[in-house]
C-alpha cells in the first residue's frame, strides 16, 4: 500500500464577518492559560449542546461526500459552508495557524491532517475531526469512515475504536478518577493487539478549545484527578493496527505512525452528570 503524501492546499476559506470568532482566530500565539475550574455552569453546558450539535451534523454532512475520487479539500469546503450557514465558526481555522476548517486524517495519518487535493481512494480509512465555536463555546468531535470497501482489518479497527470510546464514556462517573478512561480503552485495545496513541490526548473543552485538563487514553495510575459533575471534556482514542509511535510532517501538523500502520479515531465532547456522562456532540 502506498503511503499518504502531502498534496496542494487550497487558499484560506472565508468566514462571514457576522459570525463571532474565538479570541485566537488570526493570531499565532496560543490562548492564555486557562486557570478557572474544570466544572462548568449550566449556561455554558447548554451553549455547548448547540455548538456540539452543529459539529456532529457537520461530520454527517461531510462524511456523506466520501467517495473514491473526492478530495479531502472538498470535505473541508462542505463542512465549512455547513458550519457558517448555522452561525458557527470552524474552530480549527486559524488555531495556532492551522489553515483549514476541519482535520482529515487518512489511513496512517493519526490526526491533524490538513485537507488537501489528494483524491480519496477505494479502501481508504478516513477520519473527520470537526470542532465548532458558537455561543462562545466549542463542541469537538471526530469519527472514522471507510471510502468504498475497507479491508477486514481496517473495518474491525474502525468498529472497535468506536467501541473503545463508548466503553470509556460509560465508565465516566462522578467520584471516579480520570484514569478510569485510559484504563478501559487500553484494556479493550489490548485484546486485539492494537496500539494506543499516547502523544495526543483528550482534553477539557468549553470556552477554551483545549483547556489544559488532559484526558489520557492509556492506563496511567497517577492520573488521580477526581471526575466531578459539570466537568466538560473530550474522549478521543486513536488506535492503530501496529505501533503507536508517531512523527509529524514538515507542515508542522500531519501526525503519522512511524510504522505506517493504519489508525482509527472517534471523539465526543461530554459533560459529567449526576450518575454518568451526557454526550454534547450529538446530531
Ligand atoms: N479537534 C482536534 C482535537 O480533537 C484538534 C485539532 S487542532 C488543529 O483536539 F489545529 F489541528 F486543527
Ligand atoms: Co479534541
Ligand atoms: Co477533535
Which segments in the chain show pLDDT lower than 70?
A: none
**For ligand 1, mutation pick of 31, 90, 131 (most atoms within 8 Å of CB):** 131
pLDDT at site 258:
98
93 lines ligand 1 (CB under 6 A): no
Give CA–CA dist 126/263, Å, rounded.
Answer: 9
281 lines ligand 1 (CB under 6 A): no
> In which residue are the cell numbers 490526526 written?
111
pLDDT at site 29:
77
Which atom of ligand 1 is nearest to 98's Cα?
10
What percentage of the chain has pLDDT greater than the value 90? 95
Q: What is the pLDDT of residues 223-238, one digit of tens each?
A: 999 999 999 999 999 9
Region of 43 on the Ramachandran plot (φ > 0 left; ψ -120 to 50 alpha; else beta): alpha
* DSSP sequence for 154-209: HHHHHHHHHHHHHHHHHH--TTSBTHHHHHHHHHHHHHTT-EE--SS-EEB-SSSS
Give CA–CA dist 80/64, Å, rounded.
Answer: 14
Q: Which residues pair with 146 in a beta bridge?
A: 125
Q: What is the pLDDT of residues 9-56, one digit of tens each?
A: 999 999 999 999 999 998 887 778 888 999 999 999 999 999 999 999
Query: What's the 92 CA to ligand 1 centre distance in angstroms?
Result: 6
Q: Which of 169, 235, 233 is nearest to 204 (CA)?
A: 233
Query: What's the 129 CA to ligand 3 centre distance in angstroms?
Result: 5
Amino acid at each position: 500500500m502506498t503511503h499518504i503524501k502531502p498534496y496542494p492546499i487550497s487558499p484560506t476559506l472565508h468566514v462571514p464577518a457576522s459570525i463571532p470568532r474565538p479570541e485566537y482566530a488570526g493570531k499565532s500565539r496560543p490562548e492564555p492559560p486557562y486557570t478557572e475550574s474544570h466544572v462548568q455552569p449550566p449556561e455554558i453546558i447548554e451553549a455547548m449542546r448547540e455548538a456540539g450539535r452543529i459539529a456532529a451534523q457537520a461530520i454527517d454532512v461531510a462524511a456523506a461526500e466520501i467517495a473514491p475520487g473526492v478530495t479531502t479539500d472538498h470535505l473541508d469546503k462542505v463542512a465549512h459552508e455547513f458550519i457558517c450557514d448555522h452561525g458557527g465558526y470552524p474552530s480549527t481555522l486559524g488555531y495556532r495557524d492551522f489553515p483549514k476548517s476541519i482535520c482529515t486524517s487518512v489511513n496512517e495519518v493519526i490526526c491533524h491532517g490538513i485537507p488537501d487535493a489528494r483524491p480519496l481512494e477505494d479502501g481508504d480509512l478516513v477520519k473527520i475531526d470537526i470542532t465548532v465555536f458558537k455561543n462562545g463555546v466549542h463542541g469537538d468531535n471526530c469519527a472514522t469512515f471507510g471510502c468504498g470497501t475497507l479491508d477486514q482489518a481496517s473495518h474491525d479497527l474502525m468498529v472497535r475504536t468506536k467501541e473503545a470510546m463508548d466503553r470509556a464514556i460509560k465508565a465516566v462517573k462522578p467520584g471516579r478518577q480520570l484514569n478510569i478512561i485510559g484504563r478501559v480503552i487500553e484494556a479493550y485495545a489490548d485484546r486485539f493487539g492494537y496500539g494506543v496513541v499516547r502523544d495526543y490526548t483528550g482534553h477539557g473543552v468549553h470556552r477554551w478549545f483545549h483547556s489544559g485538563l488532559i484526558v489520557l487514553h492509556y492506563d496511567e495510575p497517577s492520573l488521580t484527578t477526581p471526575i466531578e459533575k459539570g466537568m466538560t471534556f473530550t474522549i478521543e482514542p486513536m488506535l492503530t493496527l501496529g505501533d503507536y509511535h508517531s512523527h509529524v510532517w514538515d507542515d508542522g501538523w500531519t501526525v503519522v505512525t512511524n510504522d505506517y500502520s493504519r489508525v482509527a479515531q472517534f471523539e465526543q465532547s461530554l459533560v459529567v452528570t449526576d450518575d454518568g456522562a451526557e454526550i454534547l456532540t450529538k446530531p
